[in-house]
């Protein structure tokens, strides 16, 4: 059993005093962000990540060594990870994931496994038909359209958060073939049903059996999902 800590905040919690906990790269990105709502979400996500990790590592938030390296271009963005300074091998045991949607910001920290967290703001206007064509497999679409029309928006978000949590745990984001990563029907227990070969390197144990997927609901309203994947699973 892996230890996972999840914490939620609001973008409205942003205030400039939090900037003192960010590193130079994060502050530069915050300053360069034009949209106020996006800037607030980024600030709260960084500060919350640093606070949780600092508590676990026993260091002040501003001393938590983070790095962001895009797997495609090598730029200072992408899934944030802990850097591992010399003499601090224990830092490598921790993984974390940041998510935000609307006013909701969340961070999950896991020791001993890879973690992905996703939330979607309930009530956001959504073209369900277009989204389903892009992201869902035939089996997932069948489960979605078996529901009454007024239930499909919430059901799609439940499916989507499950998929996104898995992809974030792997650190591959939306570069993955979404329709080939299948999850269970929204009204059933969360599980990964099929995993595309190109998403992860071969494993002696079926990857569908290795993924621990949990549904969450934030503030009794917003659908979210948490995925935990053993560190031995590597992207292909």
For 186, the token pair is: 């929204």
Who wins on pLDDT, 80 or 152?
A: 152
Q: Answer whether residue 224 shows pLDDT above 60.
A: yes
Q: Any alpha helices (H) in 137-205, and if so which ranges?
A: 138-145, 152-170
Mean pLDDT of all residues in 132-143: 95
Who wins on pLDDT, 174 or 218?
A: 218
Rounded Cα distance between 197 and 222, Å, is 31
For 102, the token pair is: 């609307």
Q: Answer whether residue 9 shows pLDDT above 60.
A: yes
Partners of 4 in beta bridges: 110
Rounded Cα distance between 182 and 45, Å, is 28
- The architecture in CATH of the region 113-236 reads Alpha-Beta Complex (3.90)
State pLDDT tens for residues 177-214.
888 889 999 999 999 988 876 665 555 556 667 789 99
Lowest-confidence segment of 63-77, 154-168, 194-208 by average pLDDT: 194-208
pLDDT value of position 28: 92
pLDDT value of position 86: 67
For CATH 3.90.470.20, list the domain ranges present in the chain. 113-236
Q: Which residue in 177, 171, 23, 160 sits closest to 101, CA to CA?
A: 160
Rounded Cα distance between 192 and 236, Å, is 18
C-beta separation of 36 from 14 below 8 A: no
Band (pLDDT 50/70/90 cuts) for residue 123 is: confident
Q: Which residue in 94, 25, 19, 98 sits closest to 54, CA to CA?
A: 94
Rounded Cα distance between 221 and 16, Å, is 29
Mean pLDDT of all residues in 132-151: 95
State pLDDT tens for residues 48-58.
999 999 999 99
Mean pLDDT of all residues in 124-142: 94
Lowest-confidence segment of 13-17, 31-35, 229-233 by average pLDDT: 229-233
C-beta separation of 97 from 108 below 8 A: yes
Q: Which residue in 67, 60, 61 sits closest to 26, CA to CA?
A: 67
pLDDT value of position 196: 74
pLDDT value of position 141: 96
User: For a pLDDT cut of 70, what percent of the chain falls above it?
Assistant: 86
Burial class (CB in 10 A: 0-12, 13-18, 19+), 76: middle
């Amino acid at each position: 059993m892996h230890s996972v800590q999840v914490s939620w905040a609001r973008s409205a919690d942003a205030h400039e005093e939090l900037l003192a906990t960010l590193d130079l790269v994060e502050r530069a990105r915050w300053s360069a962000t034009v949209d106020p709502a996006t800037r607030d979400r980024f600030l709260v996500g960084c500060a919350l990540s640093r606070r949780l990790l600092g508590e676990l590592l026993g260091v002040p938030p501003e001393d938590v060594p983070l790095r962001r390296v895009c797997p495609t271009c090598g730029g200072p963005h992408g899934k944030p990870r802990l850097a591992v300074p010399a003499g601090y091998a224990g830092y490598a045991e921790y993984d974390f994931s940041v998510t935000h949607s609307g006013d909701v910001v969340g961070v999950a920290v896991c020791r001993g496994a890879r973690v992905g967290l996703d939330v979607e703001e309930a009530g956001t206007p959504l073209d369900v038909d277009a989204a389903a064509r892009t992201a869902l497999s035939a089996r997932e679409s069948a489960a979605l359209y078996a529901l009454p029309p007024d239930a499909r928006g919430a059901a799609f978000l439940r499916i989507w958060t499950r998929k996104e949590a898995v992809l974030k745990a792997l650190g591959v984001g939306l570069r993955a073939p979404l329709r080939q990563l299948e999850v269970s029907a929204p009204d059933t227990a969360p599980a990964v049903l099929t995993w595309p070969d190109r998403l992860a390197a071969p494993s002696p144990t079926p990857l569908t059996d290795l993924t621990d997927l949990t549904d969450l609901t934030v503030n009794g309203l917003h659908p979210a999902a948490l995925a935990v994947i053993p560190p031995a699973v590597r992207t292909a």
